[in-house]
Structure 1
């Protein structure tokens, strides 16, 4: 889902800021939630696109092929303390995305980068902004406090990269825009979560019950 891109800049380098991850599994949603917040609070020239890439995998390939620069925002398992931020450039980006795969979405995005490279249409500039997750095994859960506290500092990093690397200045919106669909916007999604007693936090309880029955 494309989140933003307005203003001027038709002849400038096309920049894609891409949040990837799965909001259904706690800190897995960090990249999506960060870009969602960035798009809600800031506006940019039209050559800058902010996108919720979710877990779309190869469906993202056309968007990469049309970009001159790619900034990926994701939860990355560096094996470091939760909430640790790291920024990588160039060849280090696919290396770290594939070093310790946490879920299928990372495998899928590895394929996207590999496919773009194979046809010679990978963005020349690659940047990865990643944060070490704390919890990934909480189905229906939101960001942990540790990782949520890194959303604003990560946005500051992205704004700095856009300004210092590409000469792009964001403009603060007067009021936050409603970017995500209401049901999955972070406040509604996390605020409307049922209690642990009312919900299964490790998967679909119907499937889990069927699996348990088959083992008997």
Structure 2
């Protein structure tokens, strides 16, 4: 099966998380709200939820940038929004179980993607960003905590800024990479 030629301007924004585990639904809620925005033509927003394998196959369609959106425990105050750029070695955040409430961590998804790309001519995204939010809790239950719910509009603004930067073909990492985006 042949894949379409890679378009170096394409950005995939993927909301991941489990809506049945409280604040772990942050990514899903954020992309739901983001989908209501006027998005640039080169951007695609998808609700992946807990379907990590689906994300790996979606990435075979060729994207220059992947923006993962999820609850991200880094020790900050609940509701703190983070922008993290994955390093070139493929690790997203080795010291924490970043985005690991789904059985398939982003590292596992990217490893699967590397396997799927072998022999197909497809390539993984050149740049991987994580827009994360410090959760207050990821226990069973539907709905975001007040702090994380209040962070969703901030995350939407941050992602829209990233997408606008992509329209200008900015290759420099955002200033807030690895820091709280507050």
Q: Same fold (TM over 0.5)?
A: yes
Give the one of 8, 19, 23 matched to 1:27.
Answer: 23
Higher mean C-alpha deviation, range 100-109 or range 21-30: 100-109
Which deviations, in whole Å up to 9, do the C-alpha atoms of 1:21-47 show, x marking residues without a partner?
01111100000100100102x122443
Change (3 A) 1:106 1:133: farther
Q: What CA distance in whole angstroms lies between the structure 2 residues aligned with 1:148 and 1:104? A: 18
Q: What CA distance in whole angstroms lies between the structure 2 residues aligned with 1:13 and 1:88? A: 20
8 Å CA contact 1:21, 1:31 repeated in 2: yes
- C-alpha deviation, 1:166, in angstroms: 3.6
Q: What CA distance in whole angstroms lies between the structure 2 residues aligned with 1:72 and 1:57? A: 11
Which deviations, in whole Å up to 9, do the C-alpha atoms of 1:17-75 show, x marking residues without a partner?
010001111100000100100102x1224431100010001121121222111111110
Give the one of 34, 57, 70 matched to 1:62.
Answer: 57
Which deviations, in whole Å up to 9, do the C-alpha atoms of 1:132-188 show, x marking residues without a partner?
00011132x2000000000011111101111124438xxxxxxxxxxxxxxxxxxxx
Counterpart secondary structure, 1:77: coil
Matched, 1:112 2:109: yes
- C-alpha deviation, 1:96, in angstroms: 2.1
Q: What CA distance in whole angstroms lies between the structure 1 residues aligned with 2:15 and 2:64? A: 17
Q: What CA distance in whole angstroms lies between the structure 2 residues aligned with 1:137 and 1:155? A: 24
- C-alpha deviation, 1:101, in angstroms: 5.0
Q: What CA distance in whole angstroms lies between the structure 1 residues aligned with 2:7 and 2:40? A: 11
Is the helix fraction higher in 1 or 2?
1
8 Å CA contact 1:98, 1:106 repeated in 2: no
Q: How many residues align?
A: 157
Q: What CA distance in whole angstroms lies between the structure 2 residues aligned with 1:97 and 1:105? A: 17
Partner in structure 1 of residue 145 of structure 2: 144
Task: Point out where structure 1 has 5 or more consecutive residues left out of the alignment.
Answer: 1-9, 169-216
Q: What CA distance in whole angstroms lies between the structure 1 residues aligned with 2:124 and 2:64? A: 8
Task: Point out where structure 2 has 5 or more consecutive residues left out of the alignment.
Answer: 1-5, 170-182
Give the one of 38, 51, 76 matched to 1:43.
Answer: 38
- C-alpha deviation, 1:97, in angstroms: 7.3
Return the structure number with greater relative CO, CA threshold 8 A, min gap 6.
Answer: 2
TM-score by length of 1: 0.65
Q: CA RMSD in A?
A: 2.5
Partner in structure 1 of residue 72 of structure 2: 76
TM-score by length of 2: 0.76
Partner in structure 1 of residue 13 of structure 2: 17
Counterpart secondary structure, 1:158: helix
Q: What CA distance in whole angstroms lies between the structure 1 residues aligned with 2:95 and 2:102? A: 11
Change (3 A) 1:19 1:49: same
